[in-house]
Amino acid sequence: MSPRSAEPERTEDAEPLDWIDVGAAVDFHDPPLRQIAVGRTRVAVSCVDGTFGAISGVCNHAGGPLGEGRLDGAYVECPWHYWKFHHATGEGEPGFEADRVPRHATKVEGGHLWISRRPVTTRSKAPHAPHPLEREPGRAPGPLRVLGISTTNLDVRRPRYSTSEALLETALEHARTALGAEARMVRLAALSFRACEGFYSRSAKACTWPCSITQMDPGDQLTEVYEGLVHWADVLLVATPIRWGAASALYFRMIERMNCIQNQITLRNRVLIRDKVAAFVITGGQDNVQAVAGQMLGFFAELGFVFPPFPFVAHSRGWSAEDMENNTAFVRSNRALHDGVRQLVERAARMSEALRGAAVCSARIERGGRKAQRAALAGPAAADGAESE
Ligand code: FES
């Protein structure tokens, strides 16, 4: 075979190659890609149209096991986030050739496939501009900042009254007018964003910050939420309707994508959320307020948020209330509920001020969240966050 490469090889004249017999060549036709160990070196061995290739089994991006990926034509596609490297040269795909993983020499002799023990080219990582979210979080000077996230799935092109969103709007307006805050609303229903694809299930290291999907897919619009949550807001208000006893489907779609925020604590003791306050607005025609609130409190606590006293305002008309046509009118005209969310944002603002003044969370936090043990990466049993698939 004659793999293409611009990289000068470490030639046989300079240093004779040390060849390793890795087995009968015919066995490497199927499967056509596999990860093997040559001593302590992981190698992705492939066979494309009868041509053998052997490249490093460690991806340039975040160390994914290339030999456990798949072949896309002549390219090995990493199983973690789908970067591609030529199966024989190790070069990145067209346009990214400078991003190269080492390749090993191969030969077939006596019906066996032989691989050079050491690679004959070097690894080269082309500089990638860091993603804008990657910067270290730090509060810029300015007034209190309140981010509202509405998780109702009502069609934004055909607006109608959402009880949860209406109460959130009341709270944000109060933050602006009475508290002098900057306040923003994000409507998840107006954003196009992919569901979490469970990279965590491959390896904790495969779930990156910024989110792997955010890095791969410039069209994914959850960036606005990450930016607001991690970099901008002091206070987060999340509003959800109750659907079959749980928060909305969009709420769960969003928080599954936030595993990457919590996972930075698991991987790097890196706490992205510090001195920030979260509070919630929960409305349902029927019931299960406490279970919904419990889930929300638990999740946002794991990210590093703290809560004001009485951290949610909720409304439910009870299990047997089926006259939903009256619910909208009830919420629209109920002063106590609207006053309640005004007071909620005031409590959250006071808590935020106290936190920032005391810098409660600015000190180093050792493995925040519910898993204080240090062995979390020791094995599958210690895995955190998303379920394995
Ligand atoms: S694409 Fe290989 S580790 Fe991310």
Identify which of 75, 80, 99, 202 to mutate to test ligand 1's pocket (most ligand atoms within 8 A of the CB).
80
Please tell me the distance between residue 196's alpha carbon and the centre of ligand 1 in angstroms. 16
| pLDDT (tens digit per residue) in 70-88 | 999 999 999 988 899 999 9
Please identify which residue in the block is written with the tokens 């069609």: 155
Domain boundary among 91, 116, 141: 116
Pocket of ligand 1 (CB under 6 A): 59, 61-64, 78, 80-83
* Residue 78: CATH number of its domain: 2.102.10.10
Q: Is residue 177 helix, strand or coil?
A: helix
Please tell me the distance between residue 296's alpha carbon and the centre of ligand 1 in angstroms. 31
Q: Is 50 exceeded by the pLDDT of residue 134?
A: yes
Please tell me the distance between residue 46's alpha carbon and the centre of ligand 1 in angstroms. 18
Residue 115, judged by CB atoms within 10 A of its CB (0-12, 13-18, 19+), counts as buried
Identify which of 42, 61, 72 to mutate to test ligand 1's pocket (most ligand atoms within 8 A of the CB).
61
Identify which of 75, 81, 197, 212 to mutate to test ligand 1's pocket (most ligand atoms within 8 A of the CB).
81
Please tell me the distance between residue 126's alpha carbon and the centre of ligand 1 in angstroms. 14
Residues 108 and 136 occupy one common structural domain: no
Domain boundary among 68, 84, 116: 116
Please identify which residue in the block is written with the tokens 């030999």: 67
The pairing of beta strand 51-56 with beta strand 41-48: antiparallel
Of 40-54, 60-74, 258-272, 340-354, the range with the lowest mean pLDDT is 258-272
Do the Cβ atoms of 52 and 71 come closer than 8 Å?
Answer: no
Residue 328, judged by CB atoms within 10 A of its CB (0-12, 13-18, 19+), counts as middle
**Is 225 a member of any domain?**
yes
Does the predicted model carry a pTM greater than 0.85? no
Residues 235 and 319 occupy one common structural domain: yes
Q: Is 50 exceeded by the pLDDT of residue 172?
A: yes
Of 167-171, 178-182, 324-328, the range with the lowest mean pLDDT is 324-328
Residues 89 and 158 occupy one common structural domain: no
Residues 105 and 145 occupy one common structural domain: no
Which ranges of the chain does DSSP label H, i.e. alpha helix?
Answer: 163-177, 212-216, 223-226, 249-256, 259-268, 289-303, 324-333, 335-358
Average pLDDT for 196-209: 90
Domain count, the chain: 2
Q: How confident is the model at residue 100 (pLDDT cuts 50, 70, 90)?
A: very high
Domain boundary among 116, 144, 174: 116
Q: Which residue has the higher pLDDT, 262 or 380?
A: 262
**Is 39 a member of any domain?**
yes
Q: Which segments within 78-163 are labelled E, that is strand?
A: 84-86, 106-109, 112-116, 145-150
**Residue whose CA is at the smallest distance from ligand 1 atom 1:** 81
Residues 269 and 198 occupy one common structural domain: yes
**Is 164 a member of any domain?**
yes
* Residue 217: CATH number of its domain: 3.40.50.360
**Is 383 a member of any domain?**
no
- The three-point CA angle 156-157-162 to 5° equals 35
Please report the atom of ligand 1 found closest to the CA of residue 205. Answer: 3
Please tell me the distance between residue 80's alpha carbon and the centre of ligand 1 in angstroms. 5
pLDDT at residue 15, as a whole number: 72
Residues 152 and 291 occupy one common structural domain: yes
Residues 165 and 303 occupy one common structural domain: yes
pLDDT at residue 367, as a whole number: 59
Please tell me the distance between residue 364's alpha carbon and the centre of ligand 1 in angstroms. 29
Identify which of 35, 75, 76, 83 to mutate to test ligand 1's pocket (most ligand atoms within 8 A of the CB).
83
**Is 342 a member of any domain?**
yes
Please report the atom of ligand 1 found closest to the CA of residue 81. Answer: 1
Please report the atom of ligand 1 found closest to the CA of residue 208. Answer: 4
Question: Domain residues for 82?
Answer: 19-116
Please tell me the distance between residue 222's alpha carbon and the centre of ligand 1 in angstroms. 20
Please identify which residue in the block is written with the tokens 């691989």: 115
Do the Cβ atoms of 66 and 57 come closer than 8 Å?
Answer: yes
Residues 338 and 221 occupy one common structural domain: yes
Please tell me the distance between residue 208's alpha carbon and the centre of ligand 1 in angstroms. 10
**Is 6 a member of any domain?**
no
**Is 344 a member of any domain?**
yes
Residues 102 and 143 occupy one common structural domain: no
Please tell me the distance between residue 362's alpha carbon and the centre of ligand 1 in angstroms. 32
Please report the atom of ligand 1 found closest to the CA of residue 64. Answer: 3
Residues 140 and 190 occupy one common structural domain: yes
Q: How confident is the model at residue 192 (pLDDT cuts 50, 70, 90)?
A: very high
Residues 251 and 346 occupy one common structural domain: yes
pLDDT at residue 359, as a whole number: 64
Please report the atom of ligand 1 found closest to the CA of residue 62. Answer: 3
Please report the atom of ligand 1 found closest to the CA of residue 83. Answer: 1
| pLDDT (tens digit per residue) in 280-311 | 999 997 789 999 999 999 999 999 999 999 99
Residues 272 and 344 occupy one common structural domain: yes
Please tell me the distance between residue 206's alpha carbon and the centre of ligand 1 in angstroms. 7
Please report the atom of ligand 1 found closest to the CA of residue 212. Answer: 4
**Is 84 a member of any domain?**
yes
